[in-house]
């Protein structure tokens, strides 16, 4: 019989041979030791699996499956876990030595929550850059009005979050149709149903230039969170704050989608400069504007993007002129 642990650390693995050793050793170096590590090898074609097998520790469990994407890998880890709490960690990120200790204290102090997060740094070329989470320094507690706060910062990150296993399973775990934005979809659904807690202290490190990082690759729109916005229709109707947030999120996500077209940086910047001034509109007017824009986007998202792209190519000066309007 497998010994019950307090926390299961789930690491999805796909072709991360260059980084997985550092990631696992960061977990093994934790001051809190009551955990298991579940590495879900999602059909890696490099020597990632050999690297993991070379690390000898009885707390490491390796599960190999056919490639199905990061959502299916995380779900496999959740289902195979033996703890009541699941900590997620991507195979090119890492934690401070006291990450699990501090997060376990957060769980103990705020048992009414089901989602626990902390501040994290972005790491590029080996240099850490702190994020502004728009919370008081070292804030530690329940996040009230999450979706209003999320208009400034989404807070939760897949390598800096712990969830109650029974709660994440109750809402259906990760949506396996989505391979880009699947983590955001999960935090949205968790916050719609449960309370979240947050510690505004940097305990995790997100490596944005890691090898084979998903965010660095071109993506299939039909596998992105944007393609499945309709799944939130019922929640939008019943949750005013979520509707306000999601309208803004839709609009800003247009730029992510445009990044998958063959647009150069200057052209993308023109679009951003044209759209972003909307965020400067007073909140009581901003919602109505966002609703109008998001209605256009949602009625025919691909058509909307196609027209924007075509107009931009035909007369980019139109966007330049509009971007200077007050």
Q: What is the pLDDT of residue 180?
A: 86
Predicted structure pTM score: 0.81
One domain, residues 200 and 300: no
Q: What is the pLDDT of residue 249?
A: 83
Q: What is the pLDDT of residue 212?
A: 59
Q: How far is CA 278 from the centre of its chain?
A: 24
100, two tokens = 């699990």
How much is the average pLDDT of 22-48?
A: 98
Share of the chain above pLDDT 90, in %: 63
Q: How far apart are CA 5 and CA 59, in angstroms?
A: 10
One domain, residues 210 and 285: no
Share of the chain above pLDDT 70, in %: 73
List, for residues 186-213, the tens digit of each pLDDT value: 999 999 999 999 999 999 999 998 665 5
Q: Which long-range contacts (C-beta less than 8 Å, at least 24 apart) are formed by 318-326?
A: 319/270, 319/271, 319/273, 319/274, 320/270, 320/273, 322/274, 323/270, 323/273, 323/274, 323/277, 325/277
Q: What is the pLDDT of residue 195?
A: 98
Domain boundary among 215, 242, 272: 215
Domain boundary among 215, 241, 259: 215
One domain, residues 139 and 9: yes
How much is the average pLDDT of 149-158?
A: 94
Mean pLDDT of the chain: 82
Q: How far apart are CA 129 and CA 131, in angstroms?
A: 7
Q: Above 50 in pLDDT, residue 279?
A: no
DSSP class of 2: P
- Residue whose structure tokens are 């009625």: 299
User: In which domain, by residue range, is 79 found?
Assistant: 5-215
One domain, residues 139 and 104: yes
How much is the average pLDDT of 293-305?
A: 47
One domain, residues 186 and 237: no
One domain, residues 71 and 124: yes
Q: What is the pLDDT of residue 300?
A: 45
Q: Above 90 in pLDDT, residue 308?
A: no
**Higher pLDDT residue, 309 or 97?**
97
One domain, residues 201 and 114: yes
116 falls in which pLDDT band (50, 70, 90)? very high
| 20-24, 58-62, 148-152, 186-190: the lowest-pLDDT one | 148-152
One domain, residues 117 and 245: no
| 43-47, 157-161, 164-168, 236-240: the lowest-pLDDT one | 236-240
One domain, residues 116 and 197: yes
Q: Above 90 in pLDDT, residue 269?
A: no
One domain, residues 235 and 116: no
One domain, residues 301 and 180: no
List, for residues 218-249, the tens digit of each pLDDT value: 567 678 887 788 899 899 889 999 988 888 78
The total of structural domains in the chain comes to 2
Q: What is the pLDDT of residue 253?
A: 72
């Amino acid at each position: 019989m497998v010994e019950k642990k307090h926390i299961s650390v789930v690491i999805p693995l796909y072709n991360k041979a260059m980084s997985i050793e550092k990631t696992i050793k960061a977990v093994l170096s934790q001051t809190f030791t009551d955990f298991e590590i579940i590495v879900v090898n999602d059909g890696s074609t490099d020597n990632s699996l050999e690297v993991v097998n070379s690390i000898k520790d009885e707390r490491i469990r390796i599960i190999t499956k056919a490639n199905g994407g990061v959502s299916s890998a995380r779900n496999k880890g959740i289902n195979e876990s033996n703890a009541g709490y699941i900590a997620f960690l991507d195979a090119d990120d890492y934690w401070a030595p006291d990450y699990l200790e501090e997060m376990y204290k957060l769980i103990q102090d705020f048992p009414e929550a089901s989602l626990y997060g902390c501040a994290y740094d972005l790491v590029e070329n080996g240099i850490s850059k702190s994020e502004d989470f728009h919370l008081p320094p070292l804030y530690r507690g329940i996040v009230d009005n999450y979706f209003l706060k999320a208009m400034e910062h989404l807070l939760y990150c897949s390598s800096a979050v712990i969830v109650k296993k029974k709660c994440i399973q109750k809402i259906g775990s990760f949506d396996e149709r989505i391979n880009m934005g699947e983590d955001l979809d999960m935090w949205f659904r968790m916050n719609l149903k449960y309370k979240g807690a947050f510690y505004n202290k940097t305990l995790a490190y997100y490596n944005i230039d890691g090898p084979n990082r998903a965010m660095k690759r071109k993506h299939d729109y039909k596998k992105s969170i944007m393609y499945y916005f309709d799944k939130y229709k019922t929640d939008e109707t019943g949750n005013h704050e979520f509707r306000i947030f999601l309208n803004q999120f839709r609009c800003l996500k247009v730029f992510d989608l445009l990044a998958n077209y063959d647009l150069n940086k200057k052209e993308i910047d023109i679009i951003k400069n044209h759209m972003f001034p909307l965020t400067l509109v007073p909140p009581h007017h901003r919602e109505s504007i966002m609703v109008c824009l998001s209605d256009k986007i949602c009625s025919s998202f691909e058509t909307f993007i196609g027209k924007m792209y075509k107009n931009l190519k035909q007369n980019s000066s139109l966007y330049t002129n509009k971007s200077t309007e007050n």
